[in-house]
Amino acid sequence: MGDALQTYLARTGASRRLHERARRVMPGGDTRTSAYWAPYPVFIERGDGCRIWDADGNAYVDFVNNYTSLILGHAHPAVLEAVTRELRHGTAYAAPLGAQVALAEMLVDRVPSLESVRFCNSGTEATLFAIRAARAFTGREKVIKIEGGFHGTHDTVEVSVSPSLEAAGPADDPRPVLASDGVPGRVRDEVVVVPYGGLEPVERAFQRYPGQIAALVIEPVPGVMGYIPPPPGYLAGVRDAVRRHGALLIFDEIQTLRLSRGGAQELFGVVPDLTTMGKIIGGGFPVGAFGGRRDIMDLFDPSRPGSLHHSGTFNGNRATMAAGAAALRVLDEAQIARLNAMGERLRAGLREAARAAGVTVQVVGVGSLSSFFFTDHPVTDYRSRAAVPGSLQSLLHLHLLNRGVYVISRGSLSLCVPMGDAEIEECIAAVGDALGEMRPDIERAAPQLLA
Ligand SMILES: Cc1ncc(COP(=O)(O)O)c(C=O)c1O
């Protein structure tokens, strides 16, 4: 990493000191694994629009947006105004609230699969309860999950998130691999893992466990894998297989809801039984939600005998509901179309910058979600993603930080409303510049990528 690392260390002394202090009271100096990178992440002190400033005063254009959740950027006036107005009346009560109904109505109006919805505080809770509902509704226990798919951190979904290729078995019939120590071994028997993009493995999974599969859970455009577009007909084929085998289809739209007014399900014209949501529907505040068919969601109706228990002290709290509704009001069809078109321009510009620098890369993505990978093979699933050299991805991340461009360290970027052509150009120029400087590193790690 040489010069890039030296530059980073020189620019971020205040963050380094804060990190050292933080390590004394928090493991690794943070309260969240996903926001860590070596040697230490920068501490961000403030954000405004699409820009953030770190503890040393360095400014960045923010293409992370708190992992895609801040689609209006930082401190958007509509969100600030709504939240301050609401908070005058308190934060949360042990009672239903009109603001919950208002946000639920907006979601039901927008998202094709939603007839009924419940709020929680994170995406993890959303997928936990959607899967629990599917198990309760079908009376079955197994869940089909996509290899490399990320759905939060509860036990059932902590399987084959980023397995080592030695442990993962054959590509067309992957072995379930626990993603974390501490997840009970029995979870391996609850989860059937299939590769993204193929219908045969899905059919085989249902045939291998007849009458045992409660649900198939999938991100329509897998995020951690790099926002890979679904092959034509794939989601419809999955929909069909799941229905034929009497299971439920769960779309995890925690990231993809931003792709159209009604999420990826509207974009691709495939309606699941249940949908999980998060991120943008909280307007920047902690949130999750799950919903779908009324006959399934009615399992949570406490006026019915034997209903499913779903609690959460801060579910549907006043600030989150107000911020979420304010965000969705701004996010009309025209605004989403503008963001998606900017995403297309960004991907085209990144490809052109790489071509001009003589470096072969893959730029993938859908709408306002994009990724940049150092590989000459198309990235179509977990295995092709896992073949990308992590060292080059990390080095590019550091180079971009040094140039004031904040991206997800694995090479992904999301756009937000305050961005315009200037920010897209700034990002493309920074990547082009970084690639030029990285040539010797690319020569060492992956010489086949250099023209
Ligand atoms: C697709 C997907 N599902 C679930 C989650 C978990 O959401 P949370 O971090 O709010 O628990 C995430 C978070 O990044 C996600 O991207």
Q: Residue 228: name the closest of 362, 361, 339, 352 by CA.
A: 362
Q: Tell me if 2-71+332-449 shares its fold with 77-330.
A: no
Strand partners, 146: 194
CA of 111 from ligand 1 middle (Å) equals 18
Q: Do 31 and 6 touch, CB atoms closer than 8 A?
A: no
Give, for ligand 1, the residue of 151, 217, 224, 281 to mutate: max count of ligand atoms closer than 8 Å to Cβ. Answer: 151
Per-residue model confidence (pLDDT) at position 417: 98
Helix or strand run (H / E) with residue 274: strand 274-278
Compute the mean pLDDT over every residue in the chain, rounded to the nearest whole number.
97
Q: Residue 290: which region, alpha, beta or left (left: phi > 0; alpha: psi -120 to 50)?
A: beta
pLDDT per residue as tens digits for the range 9-23: 999 999 999 999 999
CA of 145 from ligand 1 middle (Å) equals 15
Give the residue-averaged pLDDT of 35-63.
97
Domain boundaries, the chain: 2-71+332-449, 77-330
Per-residue model confidence (pLDDT) at position 1: 60
Give the residue-averaged pLDDT of 144-162.
98
CA of 441 from ligand 1 middle (Å) equals 33
Q: Which residue, by CA, sits nearest to atom 7 of ligand 1? A: 123
Band (424; pLDDT cuts 50, 70, 90)? very high
CA of 281 from ligand 1 middle (Å) equals 13
Atom of ligand 1 nearest to the CA of 256: 1
Give, for ligand 1, the residue of 129, 145, 150 to mutate: max count of ligand atoms closer than 8 Å to Cβ. Answer: 150
Q: What is the share, in percent, of the chain residues with pLDDT greater than 70?
A: 100
Give the residue-averaged pLDDT of 131-146.
98
Q: Tokens standing for 278?
A: 């998060």
Give the residue-averaged pLDDT of 338-345.
98
> If DSSP codes are grouped into helix, strand and coil, which group holds residue 62?
strand
What lines the ligand 1 site, CB under 6 Å? 67, 122-124, 127, 150-152, 219, 223, 252, 254-255, 278, 288
CA of 254 from ligand 1 middle (Å) equals 6
Question: CA 448, CA 81: separation in Å to the nearest integer?
Answer: 53
CATH number for the region 2-71+332-449 comes to 3.90.1150.10
Q: What is the share, in percent, of the chain residues with pLDDT greater than 90?
A: 99
Q: Residue 290: name the closest of 261, 267, 268, 316 by CA.
A: 316
- What's the CATH architecture for 77-330? 3-Layer(aba) Sandwich (3.40)
Give the residue-averaged pLDDT of 426-434.
98
Q: Residue 429: name the closest of 372, 376, 354 by CA.
A: 354
What count of other Cβ atoms lies within 10 Å of the Cβ of residue 87?
Answer: 12
pLDDT per residue as tens digits for the range 178-214: 999 999 999 999 999 999 999 999 999 999 999 999 9
Per-residue model confidence (pLDDT) at position 135: 98
Give the residue-averaged pLDDT of 23-27.
97
Q: Tokens standing for 210?
A: 């007849």
Amino acid, single-letter form, for residue 100: Q
